[in-house]
């Protein structure tokens, strides 16, 4: 999900959660909140997420700033990576 740091900051960020819906009630598996990616004067928006059958995660989003053109960036994690972590964005 796209997020805003708030407090008059001039950037946006990407947060995510993983919910297990295989049982009778949804269970929060892991989350990254507070801005998984975000930095001064950069904007990240239109995120999407995909999870494969091995529980590897890919997140794509648009990033822009006043000094760069808008472009598509990605990050993700493999199932064996530490919970709540993402790899560096590319």
Q: Which residue has the higher pLDDT, 30 or 56?
A: 56
CA gap 77, 83 in Å, rounded = 9
What pLDDT sits at residue 5? 54
Give me 37's structure tokens.
């990616």
28: how many CB neighbours lie within 10 A of its CB? 9
Ranked by mean pLDDT, the top range of 2-6, 20-24, 29-33 is 20-24
pTM exceeds 0.85, yes or no: no
CB 86 within 8 A of CB 76: yes
β-partners of residue 32 are: 16
């Amino acid at each position: 999900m796209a997020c805003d740091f708030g407090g008059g900051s001039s950037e946006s960020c990407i947060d995510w959660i993983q919910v297990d819906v295989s049982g009778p009630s949804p269970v929060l598996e892991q989350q990254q909140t507070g801005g998984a990616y975000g930095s001064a004067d950069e904007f990240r928006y239109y995120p999407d997420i995909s999870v494969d059958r091995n529980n590897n995660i890919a997140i794509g989003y648009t990033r822009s700033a006043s000094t760069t053109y808008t472009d598509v960036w990605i990050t993700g994690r493999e199932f064996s990576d530490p919970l709540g972590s993402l790899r560096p964005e590319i």
